[in-house]
């Protein structure tokens, strides 16, 4: 952290070498965020372009960084916002699941939910559903979307995510709980299908056990 502080101060004093060290230090994390938020299909060139834009923004605005939060928090926020802007430019906006899920898609959804190990036979359907869930996450208010991205998509620990978001672990737990609740509302058809499938399985089990 102290190393960050020194590098940022040097970068603010127009030390390009210090800025380059910051880039090397954080680029892997930034690429992880980009892939997590945008998801598939995202080519290496596209991800690279977004990462370059992120660091150009950081370079342009590093003078305005006031050390009120950790540098990583500030950087990851810029990266996250750049990803959202990228999605908006691509007009990859989230549309209500009800309007997307036709009869075929609903059947695919049932298959995915029934498939306990998410096998290769449902790979295409899983990927489609994955894109929908990513879009649903990105449609949440920023703090909820970011907390879900870091924990669900980047598989970060609560401590790591809390540090990036500059909040306590307890607050992160509450935000995550609320974020999952909001996501559930958006994904109501998936939730209903899951429950329907669950009830179906249960009744089958009951019938089998009775017979």
Partner 1 sequence: MNCKKAKLLLSAYLDKELGDEEKSQALNHLNICPDCAKELGYLKKIKEILSYGTPAAENPAGLPFFETRLSARIREINSRAFSYADFTPVARKVALAGSFLMLFFTGIVLLNTYSTYSSNNNLTTEDYLLQSTSGSVEKKVFVESKISEDDVISLAMASDGGDRD
User: Is the Cβ of residue 65 or residue 68 nearer to partner 1 in the bound state?
Assistant: 65
CB of 56 to partner 1, least distance (A): 6
Q: What share of the chain is helix, strand, coil (3-state, %, to 5)?
A: 80, 0, 20
Question: Could you identify the residue written with the tokens 């991800």?
Answer: 47
CB of 68 to partner 1, least distance (A): 25
Decide: 195 and 163 in contact? Cβ < 8 Å. Answer: no
User: Is the Cβ of residue 60 or residue 209 nearer to partner 1 in the bound state?
Assistant: 60
DSSP 8-state assignment for residue 139: T
Query: CA 68, CA 160: separation in Å to the nearest integer?
Result: 18
CB of 96 to partner 1, least distance (A): 18
Where are the alpha helices (H) located in 62-187, listed in sequence order?
Answer: 71-89, 97-100, 103-114, 123-138, 142-148, 158-165, 169-186
| Residues at the site binding partner 1, with contacts judged by CB under 8 A | 16, 20, 23-24, 27-28, 31-32, 35-36, 39-40, 42, 44-45, 47-48, 51-52, 55-56, 59-60, 112-113, 118, 123, 126-127, 129-130, 133-134, 151-155, 157-158, 173-174, 176-177, 180, 183-184, 187, 190-191, 194-195, 198
């Amino acid at each position: 952290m102290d190393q960050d502080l020194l590098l940022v101060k040097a970068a603010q004093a127009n030390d390009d070498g210090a800025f380059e060290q910051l880039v090397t230090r954080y680029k892997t994390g930034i690429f992880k965020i980009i892939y997590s938020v945008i998801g598939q299909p995202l080519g290496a060139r596209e991800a690279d372009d977004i990462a370059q834009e992120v660091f150009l923004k950081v370079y342009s605005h590093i003078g305005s960084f006031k050390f009120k939060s950790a540098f990583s928090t500030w950087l990851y926020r810029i990266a996250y916002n750049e990803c959202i802007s990228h999605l908006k430019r691509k007009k990859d906006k989230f549309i209500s699941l009800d309007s997307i899920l036709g009869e075929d898609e609903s059947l695919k959804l049932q298959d995915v939910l029934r498939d306990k190990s998410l096998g290769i036979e449902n790979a295409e359907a899983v990927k489609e559903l994955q894109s929908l869930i990513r879009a649903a996450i990105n449609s949440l208010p920023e703090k909820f979307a970011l907390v879900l991205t870091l924990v669900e998509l980047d598989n970060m620990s609560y401590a790591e995510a809390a540090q990036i978001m500059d909040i306590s672990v307890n607050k992160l737990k509450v935000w995550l709980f609320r974020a999952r609740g909001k996501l559930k509302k958006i994904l109501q058809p998936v939730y209903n299908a899951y429950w329907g499938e669950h009830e179906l399985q249960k009744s089958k089990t009951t019938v089998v056990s009775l017979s």
